[in-house]
Amino acid sequence: MAQQNDKFKALVAHCKEYGFIYQSSEIYDGLSAVYDYGPYGSLLKNNIKDYWWKAMVQMHDNIVGIDAAIFMHPKTWKASGHVDAFNDPLIDNKDSKKRYRADVLIEDYMDKIEGKINKEVARARKRFDDFDEAMFRSTNERVKGYQAQIDEVAKRLATAMTNNDMAELKQIIEDLQIADPEGGSRNWTDVRQFNLMFHTQLGNIAGEEGKLYLRPETAQGIFVNFLNVQKTTRQKLPFGIAQIGKAFRNEIVARQFIFRMREFEQMEMQFFIQPGTQKKWYDYWKEVRLNWHKALGTPAEKLRFHDHDNLAHYADAAVDIQFQFPFGFKELEGIHSRTDFDLSSHQELSSKKLMYFDPATKESYVPYVLETSIGCDRMFLATMSNALINEQVPGQDDENNRRDVLKFHPALAPIKAAIMPLKRTNPELVEKAKGLFDELKLSCHCQYDDTGAIGKLYRRQDAIGTPFCITIDFDTLEDNTVTLRDRDTLKQERVAIDKVAAIVRERTDMSTLFA
Enumerate binding residues for ligand ATP (CB under 6 A): 217, 249, 251, 260-261, 264, 266, 331-334, 373-375, 377-378
Taking the least distance from each CB to ligand ATP, the nearer of 67 and 141 is 67
In sequence order, which residues have a C-beta less than 8 Å from that of residue 272 and are 6 or more positions away?
A: 226, 230, 237, 238, 239, 240, 241, 356, 367, 368, 369
Taking the least distance from each CB to ligand ATP, the nearer of 259 and 448 is 259
Taking the least distance from each CB to ligand ATP, the nearer of 110 and 429 is 110
Taking the least distance from each CB to ligand ATP, the nearer of 336 and 487 is 336
In the complex, minimum distance from the CB of residue 514 to ligand ATP, in angstroms, rounded to a whole number: 22
In the complex, minimum distance from the CB of residue 412 to ligand ATP, in angstroms, rounded to a whole number: 17
Taking the least distance from each CB to ligand ATP, the nearer of 268 and 450 is 268
User: Residues 253, 101: contact at Cβ < 8 Å?
Assistant: yes
Q: Please report, in angstroms and rounded to a whole number, the separation of the first and last CA atoms in the chain.
A: 38
In the complex, minimum distance from the CB of residue 384 to ligand ATP, in angstroms, rounded to a whole number: 14
In the complex, minimum distance from the CB of residue 77 to ligand ATP, in angstroms, rounded to a whole number: 14
Distances (CA, A) of 422 to 181, 465, 469, 473: 54, 21, 12, 5
In the complex, minimum distance from the CB of residue 265 to ligand ATP, in angstroms, rounded to a whole number: 8
In the complex, minimum distance from the CB of residue 374 to ligand ATP, in angstroms, rounded to a whole number: 5
Taking the least distance from each CB to ligand ATP, the nearer of 14 and 249 is 249
238 prior amide bond cis, ω within 30: yes
For residue 116, the one-letter residue type is K
In the complex, minimum distance from the CB of residue 264 to ligand ATP, in angstroms, rounded to a whole number: 4
Taking the least distance from each CB to ligand ATP, the nearer of 110 and 415 is 110
In the complex, minimum distance from the CB of residue 175 to ligand ATP, in angstroms, rounded to a whole number: 23
DSSP label at 87?
Answer: E
* Torsion angle of the four alpha carbons 97, 103, 107, 109, in this order, in degrees rounded to the nearest 10: 50
242, containing H or E segment = strand 239-248
- Whose CB is nearest to ligand ATP? 375
Of 223, 278, 192, the C-alpha closest to 66 is 223
Taking the least distance from each CB to ligand ATP, the nearer of 226 and 314 is 314
Q: In the β-sheet with 99-101, what is the strand arrangement from edge to edge?
A: 99-101, 87-92, 192-195
User: Residues 492, 484: contact at Cβ < 8 Å?
Assistant: yes
Of 91, 109, 193, the C-alpha closest to 156 is 109
Cα angle, residue 374 at apex, residues 373 and 378 outer, rounded to 5°: 155
